[in-house]
Structure 1
């Protein structure tokens, strides 16, 4: 039997259950790792399930000639991450307002998730200052292992835009690390 990784899957065919089972087996573990890095272990499993549920519901919009399925799935997952983070932030703000405490910004929340040595703290600080689009492109390549072409498909942007964005972000991070080591 041909696996989901060898040829574009037929998401419109009569055996969609088997196709999605193959897709899940081929991509869920790596997708979960990416999501756990973005939103934490506790939310990652739910977001993986949601990613495949959205993919199943939107299967007719997938065009295998446009890009590999992996980019499409990571695009769905990235949009779900954004929605999840917005919901969490709204909930935190509402809770803080209820007890009369000031609201933290989203950048501080992202930085608090990163727990590592000095270089990681510098990178975490830089990540909080990045625009969402820049952060998504960087994390999709570094954490999820997507190519710039796959990131472009996931984010619905031209590959040249993603490559430029990645170059700019990596140059900035390198400058920050160099400055920190002085």
Structure 2
């Protein structure tokens, strides 16, 4: 079986080499999109694959994994989606949502420990956007810190320090909550 990185490089000259990437990564990318834009995830996934295919020649294996590159494409598609929504709706974000990013209503339904939803939401909302994005990419999408760094376009060392800072801040925000009592430590 070919490695993702080899397939993506080969796909620049052999379009058929791109197809296994779709099969391998659609479920993970769809999950990423569902958690951030539940009602638009299917359409956004289609856009991710269109963008990834159109820009496959820009992939540089020296800058990171194919998986990280695909999540970067997904993040850019999602950002454009939110910008479009923001421009067309003209309505301010709900205070229950993290300003300028993910709509969090659907997250409530996906958390196992419903008692900490407000604390977790508040803790995440207090994180600076780059730290929150790194934390969610590592925790939800199971990217490595280096892959998450490539997604957000920062050096791996910077990502590791921001991730550590985000975990520490969230741990403090959740100290004494049901979540930390059940797990002993969430991160």
Asked if these proteins are the same fold (TM beyond 0.5), I'd say yes
Cα deviation for residue 87 of structure 1 reads 2.0
5+ residue gaps, structure 2, are 182-187
Provide the C-alpha distance between the structure 2 equivalents of 1:148 and 1:85, rounded to a whole number of angstroms. 25
Provide the C-alpha distance between the structure 1 equivalents of 2:47 and 2:75, rounded to a whole number of angstroms. 11
Q: From 85, 105, 129, give the equivalent of 1:112.
A: 105
What per-residue deviation string (whole Å, max 9, x for no partner) do you get for residues 35-91 of structure 1? 101111x21111111111111111121112321110000011111112212222333
Name the TM-score, length of structure 2 as normaliser: 0.80
Provide the C-alpha distance between the structure 2 equivalents of 1:85 and 1:75, rounded to a whole number of angstroms. 15
Partner in structure 2 of residue 99 of structure 1:
none
- Kindly indicate whether the alpha-carbon contact (under 8 Å) linking 1:74 and 1:154 is maintained by their aligned counterparts in 2: yes
Name the TM-score, length of structure 1 as normaliser: 0.82
Partner in structure 1 of residue 25 of structure 2:
27
Say if 2:2 is the partner of 1:3.
yes
Say if 1:119 and 1:81 are closer, same or farther in 2 by CA, change over 3 A.
same
Say if 2:138 is the partner of 1:141.
yes
Quote the RMSD (CA, aligned, Å): 2.3
Cα deviation for residue 155 of structure 1 reads 1.4
Partner in structure 2 of residue 170 of structure 1:
167
